[in-house]
Amino acid sequence: MLKSSNINSVLNELSEPVAKEPQAQSSSSNGNSKAATETCCSSKDQDVIGSLAALQLSAGVLQIAQPPLDHVRVQLRELIGRQNKIYIDLSKEKYKLDCSEVAKLNDMMSDVRRYKDKLAKIKKEMQGIYQRTKDLKKRAANVAACKQRDYQRKLDRQQHEESLIGGH
């Protein structure tokens, strides 16, 4: 992601030479009037004339290139602003997703605790049922044994009574 401070420094660097060139033109035009008063064949005069031509040429190129550069500069600022907005929005969404995942994890952990408690209750109930059935089976066996003894006693008594009656 581009930072707005980076583009501002680039734009400032681009605008500084533009601001310096008109001053250079005015000083070179003053230097040109001085050069006219001096001898015209000196190498110093040729350097001044060459630098004046270079300045005029660069000023002309700048006049041609300045409007598109300004337009591009505005577009870059808009683009960076949009990128920053999108970055902020994406960061917010990521945070929401992270929070929702944490919430899901917390829900799952609470479900695990709840199911563990239910499992413990069911296990306890099953142990209670097992103990009661074990006791009931033991009691049923005792009852069956008692009934068997009673039945045997009854048979024995009946046989004794028959033997007493039959012997008579």
> What is the structure's pLDDT at 2?
43
Q: Domains of the chain: which residue ranges?
A: 4-126
Could you read off the pLDDT tens digit of each residue along the chain, which spans 168 residues?
444 455 556 556 555 544 444 444 444 444 444 444 444 446 667 777 878 888 888 888 888 988 888 999 999 999 999 999 999 999 998 888 788 888 888 899 999 999 999 999 999 999 999 999 999 999 999 999 999 999 999 999 988 888 888 765
> What is the structure's pLDDT at 15?
55
Cα separation, 38 vs 48, in Å, equals: 12
Q: What angle do CA 153, 156, 162 make, to 5 degrees?
A: 140
Q: Which two tokens stand for residue 101?
A: 């995942």
Cα separation, 132 vs 64, in Å, equals: 102
> What is the structure's pLDDT at 8?
58
Rounded (10°) angle between helices 43-166 and 4-37: 180
Provide the whole-model pTM: 0.37
> What is the structure's pLDDT at 93?
87
> What is the structure's pLDDT at 40?
47
How many Cα atoms within 13 Å fall on the side-chain side of residue 61? 8
> What is the structure's pLDDT at 165?
84
